[in-house]
Amino acid sequence: MDDQPKTTPVEPPRGFFSVHVDEKGRLKLPVDVQTFLGGFGDDKLFVTSIDDRTARIYPISVWRVNEKVLEQLATEDPDASDSLAFVSNDYGAEAKVDPQGRITLPTDLRRALAIENQEVRLDCTQNAINVYSKAEYEARKRQSREKLADKLKAAKLKGFK
């Protein structure tokens, strides 16, 4: 079996999506996000957190690459490798998109991130979907606006238009 993720013919959707985690822990994926995930050809996903602040939804082929990276990291930094593997497995579980376009988030993950029966924000980066609680989204929103003029100036020097 090839462990490399398929090159998705679908670009990741841009922007944030506001969705709700229902009382049973199900998250309804927007159609654009479903289409993006479908481009990987995986029927399984891995849902976890790697930072204790956001959930991440990975196509299983992308997660397999992460597992290989952690194996390689174990020779250079066993503590980092062990910690990341432990945290991701502690929160993590495999999931599938149901016929209504929903996935069920692991119970411990929902509770740790306080996203049970709550509105969350999604975005797609690095071949995965980030799930932000309302508090985390607002904190990052504030942080991103600090010294924004300086950040824009630096980006324009690199060719940003």
Angle at 29 (CA atoms; ends 66, 84), nearest 5 degrees: 25
Q: Is residue 156 part of a domain?
A: no
High-pLDDT (> 70) share of the chain, %: 94
Residue 56's contacts (CB-CB under 8 Å, 6 or more residues apart) are 47, 48, 49, 50, 128, 129, 130, 131
Which range marks the domain in which residue 125 is found? 17-135
Q: Is the pLDDT of residue 132 over 50?
A: yes
**What is the pLDDT at residue 1?**
46
Q: Is the pLDDT of residue 32 over 90?
A: yes
Q: Is residue 118 part of a domain?
A: yes
Q: Is residue 79 part of a domain?
A: yes
Tell me the pTM. 0.89
36: domain CATH number is: 3.40.1550.20
- Rounded to an integer, the average pLDDT of 148-155 is 93
Question: Binning pLDDT at 50, 70 and 90, where does residue 8 land?
Answer: very low
Q: What is the pLDDT of residues 72-83, one digit of tens each?
A: 999 999 999 999
**What is the pLDDT at residue 4?**
54
Question: Binning pLDDT at 50, 70 and 90, where does residue 10 land?
Answer: confident
Domain count, the chain: 1
Q: How many Å apart are CA 80 and CA 96, to the nearest integer?
A: 29
